[in-house]
Amino acid sequence: MADYQPVLKAVVPAAGLGTRFLPATKATPKEMLPVVDKPAIQYVVEEAVSAGLHDVLMITGRSKRSIEDHFDRAYELEEALRAKGDEQRLAAVRESSDLATMHYVRQGDPRGLGHAVHCARGHVGNEPFAVLLGDDMIDARDKLLTRMIEVRQRYGGSVVALQEVAPDQVSSYGCAAITGTDEDDVVRITDLVEKPSVEEAPSNWIIIGRYVCDPAVFDVLEKTPPGRGGEIQLTDALRTLADTPAEEGGGVYGVKFRGRRYDTGNKLEYLRTVVQFASERDDLAPEFMPWLREFVARHDAS
């Protein structure tokens, strides 16, 4: 096995405008919308940390200050909780600031996901790194990112997470042409298309928002012209890398994910995610679930 540098850093793009959730996101970043009682972005940082990535760079933009505050200490609040002897809430408040070493860079000009990732270059340097998109949440029990890092350590190059979807869904995602390897859950990627029509789609396997990138992606991104939607697409840069020799940081692999993914990127999926998370909480489910059942029955009857 080749000796590849370890993956230690995570990059979390969080500069989007969140237009799907207006007016809630007029002054609050969409990343801060709560899934039960934790902002969505905290689950994503927890996932990075649980895969061993303690250095997290967030790519932010205007009106994102509350994200920085969330991962920082909150002395007045902590003091007030301490004075009340409310140890439980104090621990909850401290959790997010103790999680990881957080760094921030502003994207300024929002020119697409590829451009956001390129903004990480100064911080990441010449090391492989993970990218986690906040709209996708992976169940904490399913160790997708850990598996992707293992695959990078074995094969080098870059690694994307893939999920099989119904054909009519491919047009919302990056879509991959794949060939098998000798590992059941690992494929080699031969082509990638960002948001293809059903006819153009090379398969039903779509990219979900987890990547491990070789640092060679930065040079490629610099030369990648705007693609779908007039934006610089990470998918397009990875497509170039799929065709680049391994000695130059090329090669792209996919990990087939068959676990639990939650979407918080649109209203309907967000509501489903909140209900699913609530249904698994010991402190809420005993009261929430009977209410939910009764509510649905009552609703159906009327």
Report the residue number whose CB is nearest to ligand G1P: 174
Q: What type of residue sits at position 182? A: D
- 133 in contact with ligand G1P (CB under 6 A): yes
Contact 206, 178 (CB under 8 A): no
Asked if 194 touches ligand G1P (CB under 6 A), the answer is: yes
Contacting range for ligand G1P; rule: CB under 6 A; set: 129-137, 146-154, 273-281, 287-295 = 129-137
What six digits make up the tokens of 83?
């004075």
Three-class secondary structure of residue 51 per DSSP: coil
Do residues 12 and 41 lie in contact, with contact meaning Cβ atoms separated by under 8 Å? yes
Q: 52 or 110: whose CB is closer to ligand G1P?
A: 110
- The Cα 116–Cα 58 span in angstroms is 10
Residue 15 · residue 107 · CB < 8 Å: yes
Question: Among residues 21, 43, 71, 173, which is the contact residue for ligand G1P, using CB under 6 A?
Answer: 173
Contact 195, 165 (CB under 8 A): no
Which one of 64-72, 117-125, 206-214, 270-278 is the stretch in contact with ligand G1P (CB under 6 A)? 206-214
Nearer to ligand G1P among residue 81 and residue 193 (C-beta): 193
- CB of residue 209 to ligand G1P, shortest distance in Å: 4
For residue 164, the 8-state DSSP code is: E
Phi, psi for residue 273 in degrees, rounded to 5 = -65, -45
Residue 209 binds ligand G1P (CB under 6 A): yes
Q: Does 201 bind ligand G1P (CB under 6 A)?
A: no
59 is an interface residue for ligand G1P by CB under 6 A = no
Three-state DSSP class for 229?
helix
One of 31, 47, 55, 136 touching ligand G1P (CB under 6 A): 136
Distances 242 to 22, 26, 245, 254, 298 between C-alpha atoms, Å:
37, 39, 8, 11, 53
Q: Does 134 bind ligand G1P (CB under 6 A)?
A: no
- Where does this chain bind ligand G1P (CB under 6 A)? 113, 133, 135-136, 173-174, 194, 206-209, 233, 235
